[in-house]
Structure 1
Amino acid sequence: MAHELYTLQILALIFSFAPAVSPLSFSYPAVFNFGDSNSDTGGLVAGVAFPVGPPNGQTYFQEPAGRFCDGRLIIDFLMDAMDRPFLSPYLDSVGAPNFQTGCNFATGGSTVLPANANSRSPFSFGIQVAQFIRFKARVLELLAKGEKFQKYLPPENYIKQGLYMFDVGQNDLDGALYSKSVDQMLAYIPKILSEFETGIQRLYNEGARNFWIHSTGPLGCLPRIIATFGKTASKLDQIGCVNSHNRVAKAFNKQLHDLCTEFRAQFPDASVTYVDIFSIKWNLISNFSQYGFKQALAACCGYGGPPLNFDNRIACGETKNLNGSTVTANPCSNTAEYVNWDGNHYTEAANRYVSDQILSGNYSDPPLTVNRPFNYKPKFINYKMLY
């Protein structure tokens, strides 16, 4: 009963504040997603049995749900906006996954460039694209055998008319910045984007026409990055983020934006939308108190206390012996007060803010046209009050 009341309260607040999206501007019969942990709904857990245990999932699912978050991800909120169920991971064969309205190929730790022996995830972008191609071929093969598969698989027109979403590249930048200077990274970015372009061209050749591409966020504002690279004040900007990492992220995004423009010109029958995630997250972190958050750069689930509550030696939810003492990286008492969840990923409350900003239509190129009843002004929403 308490959970039902909580759900009703949340729904009432959502309907009071959230933008109503025009069915013509952001509605697709299916979504096919490619990316890393920012949009992984269980791929890494299923693919390599990576331990994503409690307290992950505690806010919304009340249990771990394959997501590196206390609850829902941006992609979950976007699926809600289209009145579609959450995406099942391509790699998860347990629990009768339903792919009728799409499939998620994203896996935590994935990179655009091919994985190597040291990669956390073997499922780099090229592998994810290859998985989609096999998925499509297998779907069409099974559908040709009879109606019994129609309940679980997308019809061919869904594959053609579906939205192809991308949120990948952060791990390429992150990993390379441990050994490369900013100048070296600026020369390295075209290599990453060349691989990305190859992948989206392969998808285009398979019939994909609707491309939805997220820029990378402010990498230098993650507690893990600050703890590692921001030990001296000269390395930090005015809000406490690592300058070098954000400079590289901006350069990557500029070239990614240019790539989207070029792809649109090369393939005029394709719809290519670039979404400026960096600006959305930067605004949230810079003005966190305006939205009801109390902590912008500290991890909710971590160890070490202020200012970052992050220790590389112990992950969220783990118990370890550190310096002769047994300690646990526990979650904060109220996740909605924090922008960051575990030092690397965002909380559900922050993900809700980001998705609302996406759906406002103000951060897309070309702009996303939406209806805005109730004098919708997302910057005045107190996201803490939604929880």
Structure 2
Amino acid sequence: MPSSPKAMAAKTFLLPLILALFSFSLFFPLTISIDFNYPAIFNFGDSNSDTGELAAGLGVFLELPNGQTYFKTPSGRFCDGRLIIDFVTMASMACILHILTLILFICSPLSESIHFNFPVVFNFGDSNSDTGELIASGIESINPPYGQSYFHKPSGRYCDGRLIIDFLMDAMDKPFLNAYLDSVGLPSFRRGCNFAAAGSTILPATPTSVSPFSFGRQVAQFLRFKARVLELLSQTKKLKKYLPTEDNFGKALYMFDIGQNDLAGAFYSKSLDQILGSIPTILVEFETGIQKLYDQGARYFWVHNTGPLGCLPQNIARFGTDPSKLDELGCVSSHNQAAKLFNLQLHALCKKLQGQYMDANVTYIDIFSLKSNLIANYSLYG
């Protein structure tokens, strides 16, 4: 039976490659005999062997002619066909495993009351709601005591137990959210996806940022996630149990808990007045991201304000050595002043958005007051 065009193309490419390798081995006997049928392949590299990593991690959309000669559509590869790694995998008869690395604000009295049983949750933020994103990126690793009080081992969260996002999912009787970059163990994104990454800021990341996944980057990841989900669902129904449906994107809860790192990090190089003056710029960036999500069909937004930054132990240790700079709670006054102004302007923005998006539901959650109450009355809570 004649070979298919695809098989012929593979053979046409592989024959000179194999001959070249054979000739090379004549001069270097160390390479003469290898078993070229491995059970798994792990690849490291750049665009010469990237099968989708940069596109997935940074939320980049590739356009034609990328992918036009083989996949007929951009496939995450920076070429118009296949890469050497693709041919190697074919030659070894190994299966190509495409691991799919596939988010609404906690809304407040700004809008009508909403039912709290959403089919899907998409979350954006920093360490306050990161369930494994930064760890999955390979930028950091975490060890005990992280995770010790609930998971009994590090779980990708920068705490010893669960986060607000975890309790929220529990309250809706839904599984914890998988991080967008968590690609091991067939993660399910059927009930949502978490784009939050520890150390992230609203403003674009800089070379000195802890996390490259700023709010704009997280939104870009969501846009790619949605596009990829819809593409896969149009090709096969086998993935329905792992992915949200198309109409879920409009019914989902979009959660946001981000901004504290923009303020806290700035204190290392800027004055209080400079930081206070930068808040409008930070919130313009935030509004831009919200607009993009709204344009994609997001309608239910749950927005956390930032907590009392001056009460974080690391800030007290670094900026609170002078008792005159502490407030009545023993927290750094300047940091809490910045947090209060940020929250005031964030609340005003949420009101603006609610008036602008009449078909949306924007809820603002006062995390600052909740945490301040816990700190002031800690003895009442055990």
Same fold (TM over 0.5): yes
Tell me the distance in 2 between the aligned counterparts of 1:201 and 1:24. Answer: 21
SS of the residue 1:103 aligns to: strand
Equivalent position to 2:143, from 53, 58, 62: 53
Q: When the two structures are superposed, what TM-score results if normalisation uses the length of structure 1?
A: 0.69
SS of the residue 1:149 aligns to: coil
Task: Tell me the residue number matched to 2:188.
Answer: 98
Task: Tell me the residue number matched to 2:289.
Answer: 199
1:27 CA drift (Å): 1.2
CA deviation string 1:126-145 (max 9, x = no partner): 00000000000000011111
Tell me the distance in 2 between the aligned counterparts of 1:25 and 1:250. Answer: 29
Greater mean alpha carbon deviation, residues 154-163 or residues 178-187: 178-187
Structure 1 segments of 4+ aligned residues over 6 angstroms from their partners: none
Say whether residues 1:32 and 2:151 are aligned partners: no
Provide the alpha-carbon RMSD of the alignment. 1.1
Tell me the distance in 1 between the aligned counterparts of 2:206 and 2:310. Answer: 24
Tell me the distance in 2 between the aligned counterparts of 1:53 and 1:90. Answer: 21
SS of the residue 2:228 aligns to: helix
Tell me the distance in 2 between the aligned counterparts of 1:83 and 1:275. Answer: 21
CA deviation string 1:170-220 (max 9, x = no partner): 000011112222222121100100000000000000110000000000000
Say whether residues 1:235 and 2:320 are aligned partners: no
Say whether residues 1:219 and 2:309 are aligned partners: yes
Say whether residues 1:135 and 2:135 are aligned partners: no
Tell me the distance in 1 between the aligned counterparts of 2:175 and 2:156. Answer: 16
Task: Tell me the residue number matched to 1:44.
Answer: 134
Q: Percent identity?
A: 66
Higher relative strand content:
1
CA deviation string 1:289-314 (max 9, x = no partner): 0111xxxxxxxxxxxxxxxxxxxxxx
Tell me the distance in 2 between the aligned counterparts of 1:55 and 1:221. Answer: 21
Tell me the distance in 2 between the aligned counterparts of 1:95 and 1:54. Answer: 22
Gaps of 5+ in 1: 1-22, 293-387
Equivalent position to 2:372, from 247, 270, 282: 282
Tell me the distance in 2 between the aligned counterparts of 1:184 and 1:146. Answer: 53
Q: Return the letter of the residue paired with 1:168.
A: I
Equivalent position to 1:123, from 203, 213, 216: 213
Tell me the distance in 1 between the aligned counterparts of 2:293 and 2:351. Answer: 17
Tell me the distance in 2 between the aligned counterparts of 1:72 and 1:133. Answer: 27
Tell me the distance in 1 between the aligned counterparts of 2:139 and 2:346. Answer: 32
How does 1:1-387 map onto structure 2 within 5 Å? 25-292=115-382
Q: Return the letter of the residue paired with 1:214.
A: H
Tell me the distance in 1 between the aligned counterparts of 2:143 and 2:186. Answer: 21
Tell me the distance in 2 between the aligned counterparts of 1:98 and 1:69. Answer: 23
Tell me the distance in 2 between the aligned counterparts of 1:226 and 1:234. Answer: 12
Gaps of 5+ in 2: 1-112
Tell me the distance in 2 between the aligned counterparts of 1:79 and 1:127. Answer: 24
Label 1:80 to 1:152 Cα distance change in 2 as closer, same or farther (>3 A).
Answer: same
CA deviation string 1:247-294 (max 9, x = no partner): 0000000000000000111111110000000000000000000111xx
Q: Return the letter of the residue paired with 1:213.
A: V
1:225 CA drift (Å): 0.3
SS of the residue 1:183 aligns to: helix
Q: Return the letter of the residue paired with 1:144.
A: S
Q: How many residues align?
A: 270
CA deviation string 1:2-38 (max 9, x = no partner): xxxxxxxxxxxxxxxxxxxxx9631100000000000
Tell me the distance in 2 between the aligned counterparts of 1:24 and 1:226. Answer: 38
Tell me the distance in 2 between the aligned counterparts of 1:150 and 1:254. Answer: 42
Task: Tell me the residue number matched to 2:78.
Answer: none
SS of the residue 1:147 aligns to: coil
Q: Return the letter of the residue paired with 2:367.
A: I
Q: Return the letter of the residue paired with 2:257.
A: D
1:49 CA drift (Å): 3.9
